[in-house]
Amino acid sequence: MTTNGAPSLPRPWNLPSPRRVLLWLGIFALLTMVGGGIYTYHHRHDTICRDRKPPLKQQDTGIGQVQYLCHDGQIVTKP
């Protein structure tokens, strides 16, 4: 093989083409989005409070934790 008149050596490894890599990344992203949508759909009625109502208030307690105040006075802390 020659490139611009200079001989080039064959690659010692067989890498997939960039088009194939992008195709696999696109398929992975699509499957991940579909899986997330299915998971969200099946868990759409999960609630934080025991009375299955949305919380009245929420407060950030720091380090990624949030406290929720429910209608029955219950305080729930979630990460």
Q: In this predicted structure, what is the pLDDT of residue 44?
A: 87
Q: In this predicted structure, what is the pLDDT of residue 2?
A: 53
Number of domains in the chain: 1
Q: What span, in angstroms and rounded, lies between the C-alpha atoms of 52 and 70?
A: 9
* CB atoms closer than 10 angstroms to residue 69: 15
Radius of gyration of the chain (CA): 26
- pLDDT greater than 70 at residue 1: no
pTM of the model: 0.55
Q: In this predicted structure, what is the pLDDT of residue 24?
A: 97
- Over the stretch 23-55, which tens digit does the pLDDT of each residue have? 999 999 999 999 999 999 999 888 888 888 889
- Over the stretch 59-73, which tens digit does the pLDDT of each residue have? 998 888 999 999 999
Contact 75, 69 (CB under 8 A): yes
Structural domain boundaries enclosing 17 = 2-78
